[in-house]
Structure 1
Amino acid sequence: MIANGNGRIVTTDVLVIGGGEAALRAAIEARRKGANVVMVSKGQIGSSGSSAISDTIHSAILSPEDSPDIFYQDILKGGKRINRPELARALAEDCTARVQELSEFGIELEFERELVTPGHSFPRRCYHKAGLGAHITRRLREYAQEIGIQFHEKTWIVDLLNEHGLADTGPDRLPGSGDRICGALGWANEDWIVFVAGSTILASGGMGRIYAQSDNPIDVSGETIGMAWRHGARLQDMEFVQFYPYRLVSPVNLDLYTKLFSNGAMMRNLQGERFMAGYPRKELETRDVICYQMFKQGKVLLDISQVSDSDLKATSPRLHGLLAKGYAGELEVQPVEHYSIGGISIDQYGKTSVKGLYACGECTGGVHGANRLGGGALTESLVFGARAGFAAAEETVLQTPDFVTKIEQELRHRKPPLFFTEEGKQATAAIRKKVQEIMWNQVGIERSAAGLAEASVQLGQLAAEAEPYLPLLDMVRAAAMVARSALERKESRGAHQVIDFPGERDEWIGNLMIEGEELSFWPLLNYAAPKRNDAQPGNLLP
């Protein structure tokens, strides 16, 4: 580390930006390959981000009749057949090995042998008995420290660093140049910190908090996706945002588990009708189907009259405790934003369209198509975290001493970012609230062409207001690209439901890609469907 009185410089082989399960798995794999690895996180590594508050559900193929081919088809069917085939294949092929190897890190998962998660053909649920993701991520943190990974916590990444140095950073940078990424520019303890790296991995989560109603942590706000786009990274499937149907919002906020509904829980509208009764799997349909039906009902109430006391206590102890104290009122459930399906476009090794830049986890797109199956997020974090970490370590390019000296000189003249001033904090609070309202009301569960067009204009205006405040600008731009892509896709598919264009349309079987200012449609025929084992971990990981 170099300190010059005006900021610090940290050099490393592989830089991992993020602090959750995907980031930790990527960092561990890179370190196992012999690379020096630095992790950077806004919060505490292993205790922040969505994976730390998750319900620990992973997917693995453990039933005798099950197979990667069957799981692959389930993923495609759930994603409405617009998943990137090579990514879906990698997830199906690698999932079991990645889940089972958690035991090497001191993490043991239980296998649910009876419950079939919506959209899956066989039981595949693996979970930690404690029921909270932090029990997994904190152990991964400990393992990462044991093998020598360096942590920088409470550090905001303000921008990426490319081969031209600090002069080519900031809001005025034109997107789409695709210069090699050589690290990142951060802010910690009221000072700049520059990370110079041979490879950089983005693993800092999705965009949940660009919506007014979300079960994501407050720091998951999409700026990484906007930042990657500004440096030339291709984005895809930005129109697809998953909402979670099993959210109790009154009398308390609480995520409910699908097992509660397999044990007899039902959803009813204000007329007392079980509105999912006409669907084959009732309240265990895929999330896109349930959320849209809930939206159309308005207020939805949870009926647990057919759930036994022992099942309720086992599957939802907090709800059981509330009722045990005498609560006898309504139990209202409502969909909330849950997962960013679209994001940075990657190949099956986590490579983006920009040299030196890799990505994994929820900040990426392409794996899940138009809808994600339950248990896919954490599994994806392990599978593509390992792949990205391996590739980044294999392809790291050491920076020269002259480059480091150049950064040191430029850093002396770098002004503090406005984002962290009192002015910046007030602007962020005001603009962020407006973005959340626009996204929830106009780019939510049900959309209209007019609403999306209006949202695009409004978000463009907010981006102009946010321009002095990186990384707020990147957050607003990420939201704007969701609205722009949603306006472009003239059909209803999976998590994207537009009243002007009901139903799926064959001409839209493919992916919307954003690169620079260009938005283009890539028909799925452009992709060669992978054969089995093309994406086997043996081709990439030892």
Structure 2
Amino acid sequence: MKVFTSDVIIVGSGIAGLMAAELLSFDKNVIIITKSDVVHSNSIMAQGGIAAVVDSEDDWRDHFLDTLRAGCYYNNEDVIELLVKQGAEMIRKLEGLGVRFDKGKDGKYLLGQEGAHLKRRILHAGGDATGKELTLKLVSRVKQNVPIHDYMDAIDLIIENGRCIGVICLDENQEYVHYFAPHVVLATGGAGQLYSVTSNNSAITGDGMALAYRAGARLADMEFVQFHPTMLVENGKGAGLVSEAVRGEGARLITEDGKLLMEGKHELGDLAPRDVVAREIFEKVSNNQKVFLDISSIDHFEQKFPSVSSLCINAGVQIDKGLIPIAPGAHFVMGGVETNMQGKTSIEGLYAIGEVANTGVHGANRLASNSLLEGVVFANELAREIINTDDSLMKTNVKPIACIDKRYSQSLPAKDDVRAIMSKYVGIVRTKENLLKALKWFDKYSTLIRSKQVYQFSREEHTIRNMLTVGYLITASALCRKESRGSHYRIDYPLTSDHWLNQTVYCSMSKQEPYVRNKKDYVSNFVI
């Protein structure tokens, strides 16, 4: 049995984890654990760009308000202020690391505009390959100082006396590997692969959220799952993401009979918040009508959007005809492991940053291109916190857990079974009846979901266990939220601003009582 010790263990290799590793590596020994190859993440697939106030005509207050409006006023305002105020500084820091953002001949940033942004403030690198440019640059730097242990599945956190002291993993040979550190950071991304159509990398199955839940950490707002309006679809299957920046450059959403889909539906039209646009498209698709993105008005489309063009070519879509078939797909989870601004969770020694974390910054619906910004800003906050912590006060008992021989007697469902349930009953539009059907299905695996036992599973089985756990948490949380807000839409509770209950549903194995965040008017007493 292999054992590794370090000052910091980072689980995940997206923008948040890589940025944290880069910043920490000058002062701490860091190890990165990643589920597959180091470059397999949602971050590397991010096309839209990174939002930041870098233009003299823009102001952090405008970015703040756009974020708050998109989040349906459910956001933690202090955290939004931190995020948007640090935008320009983080762009400078990224440039200092070698990232080259797109600029015009005059040397000024080429700024784009996306859904729910009232100003052009989206920076790009490599056109629509911003995530790729940032990720590869960080990987090349991090590799020089930080060991990266790839194809390593984190299967459970090690908790001792209420403190997280490490992670148990399975390697490619199904051998257990133990990692010990006074600081364990979850940077595992979201849970898009719980749905049949998603923009997410195949490795993004909610693992970090499930690990934290089994360890007893508090999770919140799991019902808020954002569906990106424009997934490229071919033969009913998702074939990749069509960036919102395409609409920012003038593309229009049209129905198969040529009508403008968003005409009269929202004051921002095609650039309305994602939840609004996704529901409009979903309604058409549910009635067996096709929806397209009309790109005919965009000159030199292939040069401006090489990644989208490549997706279309690979899917057999002829972009010279000017129409891209689209449908909504699971994109981003606003909820997750609850943290403060420095990434601290409810468990000592355990941190979370990026999409796996819930700081409250996104509210009920994430503003476009705030995700890469979130990753670098909160990685910076986390690094500052850990660097200023005296590790000598944290004694870690480096004692590997004995060979795990506990078996689970019940057969597990397939991944596609979980996806089918989530897509059918816990998708863009929800009802009490459908949520109860999903909950009844998940209840068949309640013992596995609620147990803290580390079972003798294969890597595939561990992934399915995590999918079941997070699917259950999303479903149960959605059932508790008796309102429609942002990405959580209940037909039985129509969307009305005066009905918003401001409830927060907390999910914790330790059964801690929920509490009111941001002086909320109402809080559920249901703890999952």
- Residues 402, 332 of structure 1: alpha-carbon distance in 2 compared, 3 angstrom cutoff: closer
Normalised TM-score (structure 2): 0.86
Aligned counterpart, 1:99: 91
Task: Confirm or deny: 8 A CA contact 2:112 2:249 kept in the other structure.
Answer: no
Task: Confirm or deny: 8 A CA contact 1:267 1:283 kept in the other structure.
Answer: yes
Matching of residues 294-309 of structure 1 within 5 Å: 294-298=281-285, 299-302=289-292, 304=294, 306-309=296-299
1:77 Cα deviation from its structure 2 partner: 1.1
**Matching residue's letter, 2:331:** H
1:27 Cα deviation from its structure 2 partner: 1.3
1:389 Cα deviation from its structure 2 partner: 2.4
Secondary structure of residue in 2 paired with 1:353: coil
Aligned counterpart, 1:369: 363
Deviations 1:162-212 (A, max 9, x none): 225xxxxxxxxxxxxxx1000111111332211110111100110111111
Confirm or deny that 1:187 pairs with 2:181: no
- Matched residues in 2 for 1:48 and 1:310: separation? 30
Confirm or deny that 1:267 pairs with 2:261: no
Matching of residues 116-515 of structure 1 within 5 Å: 116-129=113-126, 131-132=128-129, 133-146=131-144, 148-163=145-160, 179-188=162-171, 189-250=173-234, 253-278=239-264, 279-298=266-285, 299-302=289-292, 304=294, 306-311=296-301, 313-315=303-305, 316-318=308-310, 331-365=324-358, 366-395=360-389, 397-398=391-392, 403-404=397-398, 407-408=399-400, 410=401, 413-415=402-404, 430-464=413-447, 468=455, 469=457, 470-504=462-496, 505-515=498-508
* Identity rate, percent: 25
Deviations 1:237-269 (A, max 9, x none): 100000011122036824223343344432233
Deviations 1:390-446 (A, max 9, x none): 223333635988822xx14x4xx4137879xxx99xx66x33222111111111000
- Residues 400, 272 of structure 1: alpha-carbon distance in 2 compared, 3 angstrom cutoff: closer
Cα root mean square deviation, aligned? 2.8
- Matched residues in 1 for 2:47 and 2:322: separation? 26
Task: Confirm or deny: 8 A CA contact 1:19 1:43 kept in the other structure.
Answer: no
- Matched residues in 2 for 1:331 and 1:24: separation? 34
- Matched residues in 2 for 1:136 and 1:440: separation? 32
- Residues 303, 388 of structure 1: alpha-carbon distance in 2 compared, 3 angstrom cutoff: closer
Runs of 4+ in 1 over 6 A off after TM superposition: 322-327, 399-402, 416-419
- Residues 217, 418 of structure 1: alpha-carbon distance in 2 compared, 3 angstrom cutoff: farther
- Matched residues in 2 for 1:356 and 1:401: separation? 11
Unmatched 5+ residue regions in structure 2? Answer: 104-108, 522-528
Aligned length: 493
1:330 Cα deviation from its structure 2 partner: 7.1
**Matching residue's letter, 2:270:** E
- Matched residues in 2 for 1:319 and 1:202: separation? 31
Deviates more, 1:113-122 or 1:445-454: 113-122
**Matching residue's letter, 2:283:** K
Deviations 1:472-523 (A, max 9, x none): 3233111111111111111111101100000144451253222334674635
- Residues 382, 389 of structure 1: alpha-carbon distance in 2 compared, 3 angstrom cutoff: same
- Matched residues in 1 for 2:417 and 2:319: separation? 39
1:321 Cα deviation from its structure 2 partner: 5.7
Aligned counterpart, 1:16: 10
**Matching residue's letter, 1:290:** V
Secondary structure of residue in 1 paired with 2:420: helix
- Residues 233, 280 of structure 1: alpha-carbon distance in 2 compared, 3 angstrom cutoff: same
Aligned counterpart, 1:169: none
Deviations 1:125-170 (A, max 9, x none): 1111153323321221121123x21221111111111225xxxxxx
- Residues 225, 401 of structure 1: alpha-carbon distance in 2 compared, 3 angstrom cutoff: closer
Task: Confirm or deny: 8 A CA contact 1:358 1:392 kept in the other structure.
Answer: no
